[in-house]
Amino acid sequence: MKIGVLVKNVPDTETKIKLTSDGTGIETQGVKFVMNPFDEYAVEAALQFKEKIKDDATVTVVSLGPDRVVETLRTALAMGADDAVHVWDDAFEGGDMLTNARILAKVIEKIGFDLILGGKQGIDYDAMQTCAAVAEHLGIPQVQIVIALELSEDKTALVARRRIEGGDEVVDIKLPAVVTCEKGLNEPRYASLPGIMKAKKKEIKKIGLADLDGLTADDVGSMGSTTKIVGYESLAQRPSCRMLEGEPAQQAADLVRALREESKVI
């Protein structure tokens, strides 16, 4: 069984996002990039399947992005992935999610997988678009926001539990399929020291535009995109907090009055 995992390299959750002085971009200087947290669940899920299936399973991690994504691929290798594929070409610069998905789908088609795992969403642009679009281009089913996943005995199907508003859906999935992972699915392992050493020496395969049949420079990057970010805005500052004074009973009564009479939310 060949399992592919889509991993994205994103700014660390603690990062303070600073806008460039003209407000049209994000300052990337000094920003620490890490594996998208939701993709850690995907890598872990793939490794658990591999351990369960034993010898006839491989886990390949795929990331599209500039050179810094290699570090995220190495992290996944250190966790235990078998192979890594770095997808990049200068022509890919500035592509939106649906455009990147077109590229990733071509890469996946070229390698051939039985199961493709990804994260629920990238915590950079919070798009939740890439995996669904990949599944569409491949013409295979997708199930997103998954918190439990089981492989059938014959390895041709999965049962997933998917988180929706106010409940869970239980879904039967025929492979090949794309599944995206949500917190709660598992506890991602840390890379072991020997794993890290081994990962350093692993060769990472590179794939560029010329390797992908049927795609031209017009289909990818900013040229192929149908959306464009024109600027950023900081969140509006809230007026400073009004602290309620007095004994707890007084505070409670004053708060309720303020919510009713000033902000009129009650």
Ligand X SMILES: Nc1ncnc2c1ncn2[C@@H]1O[C@H](COP(=O)(O)O)[C@@H](O)[C@H]1O
Residues forming the site for ligand FAD (CB under 6 A): 13, 37
261: tokens are: 């009479």
Distance CA 61, CA 84 (A): 5
d(CA 238, CA 127): 26
Binding partner at 109 among another protein, ligand FAD, ligand X, none, C-beta below 5 to 8 Å by kind: none
Window 188-207: residues binding ligand X (CB under 6 A): none
Min CB(127)–ligand X separation in Å: 4
**One residue of 42, 73, 76, 123 binding another protein per CB under 8 A:** 123
- DSSP secondary structure code for residue 211 in this structure: G
Told to check if 125 binds ligand X by CB under 6 A, we report yes
Bridge-based pairing state of the strands 142-151 and 157-164: antiparallel
Interior/surface letters 51-70, b for 16+ CB within 10 angstroms, e for the rest: eeeeeebbbbbbbbbeeebb
Closest CB to ligand X among residues 110, 257:
110
Residue 77 CB, nearest approach to ligand X (Å): 15
Which CB sits closer to ligand X, 111 or 258? 111
Residue 140 binds to another protein (criterion: CB under 8 A): yes
Q: Which does 170 bind (CB under 5 to 8 A by kind): ligand X, ligand FAD, another protein, none?
A: another protein
Q: How far is the CB of 12 from ligand FAD (least distance, A)?
A: 8
Please report whether residue 68 would count as binding another protein according to CB under 8 A: no
Q: Looking at 45-92, which runs of residues are DSSP E strands?
A: 58-64, 83-87
Question: Angle at which helices 69-79 and 193-201 pack, to 10 degrees?
Answer: 130
Rounded CA-CA distance 133/125 in Å is: 16
**Binders in 49-78 for ligand X, by CB under 6 A:** 62-65
Q: Which residue in the block uniquely carries the two structure tokens 């840390």?
A: 190
Cβ contact 149:118 at 8 Å: no
Residue 129: both structure tokens together: 């678009």
**From the list another protein, ligand X, ligand FAD, none, which binds 36 (C-beta under 5 to 8 Å, kind-based)?**
ligand X
65 binds, among ligand FAD, ligand X, another protein, none (CB under 5 to 8 A by kind): ligand X
